[in-house]
A and B are shown apart, each in its own frame.
Chain A
């Protein structure tokens, strides 16, 4: 038996020798190249397990979207609707802020005009 005969089985054997024939298991155990490859596969699996703890923060609004979708009545379109509601809320917030700013500016301009007149 040669390394090439077992190379394709190594990704499976990285989980343990179960399922391998006794000949294959014995060869892999005694072959240095197979052992080195197995060690690399096990390192890869360990890295993959660690990826679970590398959490990516979603863009803001996801939680609100999920909750909004739950609150809507049954509908095929409620995911999209929930997304629009959150988006509309954000746009509404910006619009309200702009309107408030405009009112303040207008009042300031009027009081300035009054003091000049």
Chain B
């Protein structure tokens, strides 16, 4: 990947397109987690790569290329969702059967049941977009609070507050889901 990055930085668009091929699935999944909507995620991914291509010369290699892309994705999704909220007011809750269509699984996941993870994904999707963005970026993708604050246009303190509030709401929602399923049985 380093050779491709160097070539792309030198203006080789074919090299950049190869980078797109290697990373777009991951980028799409982050965009999908952030927007909770497949169409929006596709637009965010395109915007992400347009920005990445424009800015690749500024990529210094301090962080991994994928982390750099995550930051651009977070910023693009934040801008996109803000713009969309101004245009319409419908809820952002349209991820369909996400967990049924997963394409890969790692051995360590055997410890967690698929049902548990599916419930977490549903609960995550139910969070308010501002809380969900921070939880996704920190707890799912491992970005630092400083990076999250910078890309979402909020302070580090606000990022931490949103993370903790988001975790608390997730816990409460998962408890509710558990109680509902127990009542159903």
Chain A: residues with Cβ within 8 Å of the partner, total of 34
Is A44 engaged at the interface, CB distance under 8 Å to the other chain? Answer: yes
Would A58 and B124 be within 8 Å (CB), given that A50-B117, A79-B47 are in contact?
no
Show 21 residue pairs from A and B whose CB-CB distance is below 8 angstroms, ordered by the A residue: A12-B160, A12-B164, A46-B112, A47-B116, A47-B117, A50-B109, A55-B26, A56-B32, A56-B103, A57-B101, A58-B42, A59-B42, A63-B21, A65-B42, A66-B46, A69-B46, A69-B50, A70-B13, A70-B16, A70-B20, A79-B50
Say if the beta carbon of B183 comes within 8 Å of chain A. Answer: no
Determine whether A103 belongs to the interface, using a CB cutoff of 8 Å to chain B: no
Interchain CA distance A92-B165 in the complex, whole Å = 50
Interface extent on B, as a size class? Answer: 35 or more
Q: A57 touching B103 by the CB < 8 A rule?
A: yes
Does residue A53 face the partner (Cβ distance < 8 Å to B)? yes
Q: Is the CB of B102 within 8 A of A49?
A: no
A89 at the interface (CB under 8 A from B): no
- Mostly, the A contact residues are helix
Given contacts A45-B139, A69-B49, A70-B16, contact A63 B24 (CB under 8 A): yes
Cβ contact within 8 Å between B46 and A41: no
A47–B29 touching, CB < 8 Å: no
The chain B residue sitting closest to A61, CB to CB, is B42
Q: Chain A contacts of B45 at CB under 8 A?
A: 62, 66
Q: Which residues of chain B have C-beta atoms less than 8 A from A70's C-beta?
A: 13, 16-17, 20, 49-50, 53
Near A by CB (< 8 A), chain B positions 6-35 give 13, 16-17, 20-21, 24-26, 28-29, 32-33
* Chain B residues whose CB sits within 8 angstroms of the CB of A45 once the complex forms: 139, 167
A92 CA to B41 CA in the complex, in Å?
25
Q: Is the beta-carbon distance between A44 and B112 smaller than 8 angstroms?
A: no
Q: Is the CB of A11 within 8 A of B139?
A: no
